[in-house]
Amino acid sequence: EAEEEIHFFFPKQQTLAIIKPDAMAEHREEILGEIRAAGFSISQLKEAVLSRDMAEELYREHRDKPFYRQLVDFMCSGPCMLLVLTKENTVEEWRSMMGPTDPVLAKVTAPGSLRARFASDILHNALHGSSNQEHAQEKIHFLFGDITSDRDLTSNGKMDPTPL
């Protein structure tokens, strides 16, 4: 008699992840390694220096916040690594792997998280991750255009830097 099994299939989801300028020189390879080890597929990846306009658009939702100008200055202060991560429940999983925005809090509540380990302060906090699926799709489209192929770069993260 066949055993009944219930399978749950979760559709793959995409999120935008960014290694911010503060983490690029020292921690980029370790972060990429951890992303792969955690089972994310790196579907798109490019190194770029964001223009001011692009950084402003990326963080448009924060334009009225007191930290907006500093944030935009910081985000275009050097190269970033832009990544599209694909996994089940990827938006939430990537945010959980990053940890809280403020590394002071991250060190207490999520000591193993990437921000607990690599962030310097609440502004220079090493990583970006979309807060929901709608933002993820909008910002991925903004930074990568129409993605025609869903490449899996998981085992070979190296690509030539692409100027924006």
- Binding interface with ligand UDP (CB under 6 A): 62, 67, 71, 101, 122-123, 125, 128, 131
Kindly tell me the burial class for residue 74, based on how many C-beta atoms sit within 10 Å of its own C-beta (0-12, 13-18, 19 or more): middle
Q: Distance (Å, rounded) from C-alpha 106 to C-alpha 130?
A: 18
132 among annotated binding-site residues: no
Residues near 105 by beta carbon (within 8 Å), at least 6 away in sequence: none
Residue 122 or 153: the one with the smaller Cβ distance to ligand UDP is 122
Residue 109 or 131: the one with the smaller Cβ distance to ligand UDP is 131
69 among annotated binding-site residues: no
For the annotated catalytic residues, the residue numbers are: 128
Give the DSSP letter of residue 131. Answer: S
Q: How near is the Cβ of 83 to ligand UDP at its closest, in Å?
A: 15
115 among annotated binding-site residues: yes
Residue 41 or 125: the one with the smaller Cβ distance to ligand UDP is 125
154 among annotated binding-site residues: no
Give the DSSP letter of residue 126. Answer: S
Both tokens of residue 24?
Answer: 């690029």
Closest CA to 75 of 18, 132, 129: 18
Binding residues for ATP: 20, 67, 95, 101, 115, 125
Binding residues: 20, 67, 95, 101, 115, 125
